Amino acid sequence: MSRVSKFFKRFYLALILVFLYVPIVVLIVQSFNSGKSRAKWEGFSLHWYSDLFQNTSIMNALQVTISVAVIAMIVSTVLGTLAAIGIYSMKKRPQSAMMTLTNLPNTMPDIVTGISLMILFLFAKVSRGFGTMLLAHITFDTPYVILSVLPKLKQMNKHTYEAALDLGATPGYALIHVLIPECRQGIVTGAMLAFTLSLDDFTISYFTTTPLVQNLSTLIYSAARRGIEPTLNALSALMFIALLVLLLIVNHRTKESD
């Protein structure tokens, strides 16, 4: 490979990174600007972070966001792990069919999933709010947990579970002490991925809740239509840092499990 070719490849990569991350860096810097102007630096200040934690609507949205993310993570991890074990024990043809159904929600645009769930809730005459948003998050988190756990199950010896049963273990004991320890890394990775996806979801949350119950993403969208306040810069900066840390942990655990 010629030096010119290497140079252009590195330049192209650097250009993409600049377009992706410079706006985020500017946003984080502006969150420390003492003034409201985004075109002029008026001095360093933590004023907007102080206002952020005193804002009742933002704190309520934060509580909803964390509550939904934690509950959805726990429920989807349990359901996804059990589903992955069930799919793993199937024969080849039904296993292939189930994998197709599992991958389908991941390939569909979020807006399709959000509108579909909204129509389902309206058809079932279920009032939208915290409960419907939680169910929606569990729905789209579960496939990611399944896809995180299945590779670890495929790495284990297929006869380990049967051997535990032959030695006198009950199915429940073998599940807890044999299967789950074998795929623990995949379970933890799937749980963290589910939490991360739920934490910053907007599209599905927007269609499955009401303005009376908002998470941070829907609150930011509503506030942005009235004009960007500096407190939103501080909020976005904190969300970016939190999600970055979680994604780094997920990626690290994924590499360890490979």
Q: Does residue 33 sit in helix, strand or coil?
A: strand
Answer yes or no: is 34 within a domain: no
pLDDT attached to residue 255: 65
Q: 33: which strand partners?
A: 44
* Cβ pair 16, 29 in contact under 8 A: no
Q: Which residue has the higher pLDDT, 105 or 135?
A: 135
pLDDT digits (tens, 9 = 90+) for 177-236: 888 888 888 898 889 889 988 988 888 999 998 888 888 888 888 877 777 777 888 888
DSSP 8-state secondary structure symbol assigned to residue 36: S
* Cβ pair 204, 108 in contact under 8 A: no
Answer yes or no: is 218 within a domain: yes
Question: Percentage of residues in the chain with pLDDT exceeding 90?
Answer: 20
CA neighbor of 142 nearest in space, from 63, 213, 87: 87
pLDDT attached to residue 179: 83
pLDDT digits (tens, 9 = 90+) for 143-170: 999 998 988 888 887 777 778 877 777 8
Q: Which of 4-18, 84-98, 140-154 has the highest mean pLDDT?
A: 140-154
pLDDT attached to residue 32: 86
pLDDT digits (tens, 9 = 90+) for 116-148: 999 999 999 988 889 999 999 999 999 999 998
pLDDT attached to residue 117: 92
CA neighbor of 133 nearest in space, from 233, 202, 222, 234: 202
pLDDT of residue 58 exceeding 80, the answer is: yes
Check which CATH number belongs to the domain holding 110 and give it. Answer: 1.10.3720.10
pLDDT attached to residue 176: 82
Answer yes or no: is 160 within a domain: yes
pLDDT attached to residue 80: 93
Answer yes or no: is 169 within a domain: yes
Backbone angles phi, psi at 251, to 5 degrees: -65, -40
pLDDT attached to residue 184: 85
Structural domain span for residue 121: 45-257
Give the mean pLDDT of 68-88: 92
DSSP 8-state secondary structure symbol assigned to residue 35: S
Rounded to whole angstroms, how far apart are CA atoms 89 and 152? 13
Answer yes or no: is 25 within a domain: no
pLDDT attached to residue 142: 93
pLDDT attached to residue 183: 85
C-alpha distances (whole Å) from 132 to each of 64, 118, 136, 139, 201 are: 13, 9, 6, 10, 14
pLDDT attached to residue 258: 56
Answer yes or no: is 100 within a domain: yes
Where residue 254 falls among pLDDT bands split at 50, 70, 90? low
Indicate if the alpha-carbon torsion angle 8, 14, 17, 23 is positive or negative.
negative
pLDDT attached to residue 220: 82
pLDDT of residue 44 exceeding 60, the answer is: yes
Q: How many residues does the chain have?
A: 258
Q: Which residue has the higher pLDDT, 123 or 7?
A: 123
Answer yes or no: is 79 within a domain: yes
pLDDT attached to residue 146: 92
Q: Which residues contact 81 (CB under 8 A, 6 or more apart)?
A: 145, 149, 180, 183, 187, 190
Number of domains in the chain: 1
Average pLDDT, the chain: 84
Answer yes or no: is 234 within a domain: yes
